[in-house]
């Protein structure tokens, strides 16, 4: 297994739209394992392939404290959205920034697991928010896109300044 580099906003590659996975082979299984390892190393609860510069529709999630309930969602799709919920979100691609985002409270969704089985399920709360956040990544969208342009501009400047300082050091 190997750790992958996580892209940070405002990297343009975070805007790539990921393509469906056609065949779930050993390569895809290895990629999913590396994505999980990277997510755990960075203390995230979700990671989309777009964030590690791979334009394939793959998402990994683990909401458990013990980090032992890994979910791998291949070609995930939202089928139904219900209700509204506001939750404070963060993202491994937008370090040290958290803000409230409004999303659907519960969802019906479909994906393929690593065996290629098609799974349909319903969920709400944190998992529903997480799946919506990660599918957004596959479509080139970030949670900060839901913020006002002014807030986003300020955040961009702050991150660019921080990354410049890091290069100097
Ligand atoms: Zn994210």
Say what percent of the chain tops pLDDT 70: 98
Q: Which of 69, 77, 85, 134 is catalytic?
A: 134
In this prediction, residue 162 carries a pLDDT of: 82
In this prediction, residue 161 carries a pLDDT of: 86
Q: Measured in angstroms, how far is the CA atom of residue 141 from the centroid of ligand 1?
A: 9
In this prediction, residue 10 carries a pLDDT of: 92
User: Going from the N-terminus, what domains does the chain have, and what CATH number goes with each?
Assistant: 12-168 (3.90.45.10)
Task: Label residue 167 by pLDDT band (50, 70, 90).
Answer: low
Q: Measured in angstroms, how far is the CA atom of residue 91 from the centroid of ligand 1?
A: 4
Say how many C-beta atoms besides its own lie within 10 A of residue 35's C-beta: 26
In this prediction, residue 88 carries a pLDDT of: 96
Task: Label residue 163 by pLDDT band (50, 70, 90).
Answer: confident
134 as an active site residue: the answer is yes
**Which tokens belong to 124?**
């709400």
Q: Measured in angstroms, how far is the CA atom of residue 5 from the centroid of ligand 1?
A: 14
Look at 20-34, 76-90, 114-128, 142-156 and tell me which has the smallest mean pLDDT. 142-156
Q: Measured in angstroms, how far is the CA atom of residue 34 from the centroid of ligand 1?
A: 17
Task: Give the residue-averaged pLDDT of 7-33.
Answer: 97
Whole-model pTM?
0.94
DSSP-assigned states of every residue in the chain = ----PPP-TT-GGGGPPPBPP----HHHHHHHHHHHHHHHHTT-SEEEGGGGT--B-EEEE---TTS---EEEEEEEEEEEES-EEEEEEETTEEEEEEEEEE-SEEEEEEE-TT--EEEEEEEHHHHHHHHHHHHHHTT--GGGGS-HHHHHHHHHHHHHHHHHHHH-
Which among 145, 165, 33 has a CA at the least distance from the CA of 93?
145
Say how many C-beta atoms besides its own lie within 10 A of residue 5's C-beta: 9
Q: Measured in angstroms, how far is the CA atom of residue 83 from the centroid of ligand 1?
A: 22
């Amino acid at each position: 297994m190997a750790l992958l580099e996580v892209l940070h906003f405002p990297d343009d590659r975070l805007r790539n739209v990921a393509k469906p996975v056609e065949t779930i082979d050993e390569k895809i299984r290895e990629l999913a394992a590396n994505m999980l390892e990277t997510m755990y190393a960075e203390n995230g609860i979700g990671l989309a392939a777009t964030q590690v510069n791979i334009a394939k529709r793959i998402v990994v999630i683990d909401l458990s404290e013990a980090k032992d309930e890994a979910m791998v969602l291949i070609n995930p799709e939202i089928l139904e959205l219900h209700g509204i919920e506001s939750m404070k979100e963060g993202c491994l691609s937008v370090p040290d920034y958290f803000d409230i985002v409004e999303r659907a409270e519960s969802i019906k969704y479909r994906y393929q697991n690593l065996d290629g089985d098609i799974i349909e399920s319903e969920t709400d709360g944190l998992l529903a928010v997480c799946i919506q956040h990660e599918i957004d990544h596959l479509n080139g969208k970030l949670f900060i896109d839901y913020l006002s342009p002014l807030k986003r501009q300020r955040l961009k400047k702050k991150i660019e300044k921080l990354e410049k300082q890091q290069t100097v050091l």
